[in-house]
Every structure is written in structure tokens, then in C-alpha cells.
Structure 1
């Protein structure tokens, strides 16, 4: 069922405002730092979650950076 939800989101776009790829790239370090610190990254960087849901390239960058930061003890 999740595959259909993802497809619908990609086709229709998110139901909330989202960042552009450029803004995502500029805020990604901060977003990951906030996530790893256990803070509410979605509230502090509005639109990031929606963008990551709809953009496979940025989502991949996010996942890679977060895995790197977590493996490095939480420091960027």
C-alpha cells in the first residue's frame, strides 16, 4: 500500500509547502544535525520533510548524510 501512497504523492505533490532542491541542499546539514540531536527538525526547517518525500535525489543525499553523521558519533 505504501508504494501507491508514494506514487500519488509524487503525481499530485505534497499537501503541504515544500522546499526547492536548492533550499534543501542549503538546509540539509542543519536538518540532519537537528534530527540527530533529537530536536524537532521538521518544525525548525519547514518544508524539508515534504521535499524529501517527493524528491528521490535529495532523499538519497539526506539518507547518506544522516548515516554518515550517526556513524561519526553525531557530529557533522
Structure 2
């Protein structure tokens, strides 16, 4: 094992909390990205929809997704 790899492993071992935070932040960013895509699709369906009952359901889903995105962003700021 070369010195750089060994030092990297040791640093990761001693900075496990930081690594966990980074990994968690990366995971949350991925989830936020997926939620934004889903929100975009739901909003597009909402704009194209003619049925009022379906519009109501899509609007509620879009609001929930938006709240999840905002909560994810807040969690990222705390990390």
C-alpha cells in the first residue's frame, strides 16, 4: 500500500464524522435533485390537466414535494 493511500485511510479513520457528514450531504443533494425533477413533472401535468379533481390531487402532491425540497435544503444548511 502506498503512503498516500495509507495516509488517506488514516485521515478517513480519524475524520469519520466529517466523512459521514459529507456522505450524508451528497445523499441529500441526490434526493433533492430527484424531488425537483418530480416536482417539475407534477407541475407540468398540473398545467396540462383539465379534470378538477385530478388538479386538486396534483396541486397537493406538488405542495408536498416543495415542502420536502425546502426541508432537505434546511438540513443541508445545518450540516
Higher-Rg member (1/2)? 2
Q: Shorter-chain TM-score category? A: 0.3 to 0.5
The structure in which a higher percent of residues are helix is 2
